[in-house]
Structure 1
Amino acid sequence: MKKTLFFVLICIFLALCLNDSQKTPQVTVTRQEQLSGEAVDQIIVVHFHRVHQCTCCINVGKWAEETIVLYFPEEYEEGKIVYMDVCIEENQEMARKYNAYGASLYINVIKDGDDNIMDAVEVWSHCFDHDKFVDVFRQLLEDALEG
């Protein structure tokens, strides 16, 4: 009985950490090829999570911020790249803007005042491999900066 209860609790906990925000956001969602050629005003990286986070969720947030600070220090200091860690339950308005319902990482490339929000789903498969996560996320940011 105890094993069954423990298993059910683990399943519920893991379900809270799953990214169920794969629906298309209501603002412009685009891929990098469509952004080429225009100057980037700002990049906002938003890590959405619930109050209780699993290890994977914690790693994604921590490593995303670390990558920005380490590899894009000038852009970070100037405010060209902004990192935000947002609890969905505490900021529902922002979660609605990005259409975030669970743990997720978004890159919002702002050009001419327009949001171009991309769900960085590719990083989640590397949430337990620091070096690979950093490589993938760094490339996403470099591509976004190139416009």
Structure 2
Amino acid sequence: MNRLLIVILVLTLFSAGCVGNNAEGTTKVVDGNLRELPHIEVIHFHGNNQCYSCQVVGAYAEETVNTYFPDELDSGNLVFRHVNFDLPEDKELTQRYGAAYSSLWIGTYTEKGFSAEQDTNVWYKVEDRNSYMSYLSEVINEKLAGL
């Protein structure tokens, strides 16, 4: 009887460390990668052939996140990607976001699920790099603050 009690006690103590609160946050596999939840994805969707404006939307978005959010990128709270919707390996992600043409999307992953929002305002700012970067950094800050 004492052995059974000791075994139960040991198993209880061992399993308690496995179900505790994760100090780093919850993790989930997203696009084949383990990501912290919650987090934000900024994705520039494009095809094989890109016009000048399509290239600028992606380049300015990447510059914005690299300039204003290096800590968030390092921590995994923010992810940036260029995704070619013409490639078969990007089909699933393209469908998840609903991207059908060159576009900039912001996806939010939380414990409650996933939501995606296309940002069409960036197209009106491709002629002014500073305005584009200022605008997009504000949008990303709002999304991060809402996590």
Normalised by the length of structure 2, the TM-score is 0.70
Aligned to 1:86: 83
The number of equivalent residue pairs is: 108
Task: In structure 2, give the amino acid aligned to 1:56.
Answer: S
Query: Per chain length, whose mean CA-contact separation is higher, i.e. which structure has more relative contact order (CA < 8 Å, sep 6+)?
Result: 1
**Unmatched 5+ residue regions in structure 1?**
1-39
> Which stretches of structure 1, 4 residues or more, deviate above 6 A after TM superposition?
none
Higher normalized strand content (fraction of residues): 2
RMSD after superposition? 1.2
- Could you tell me how far 1:113 is from its partner in structure 2? 5.1
**5 Å matches for 1:47-126?**
47-90=44-87, 91-112=90-111, 114-126=113-125
From the CA coordinates, give the structure whose radius of gyration is larger.
Answer: 2
- Could you tell me how far 1:114 is from its partner in structure 2? 1.0
Sequence identity (%): 30
2:38 matches 1:41:
yes
**Unmatched 5+ residue regions in structure 2?**
1-36
Task: In structure 1, give the amino acid aligned to 2:56.
Answer: N
**C-alpha contact 1:45 1:106 (8 A) present in aligned 2:** yes
- Could you tell me how far 1:112 is from its partner in structure 2? 1.0
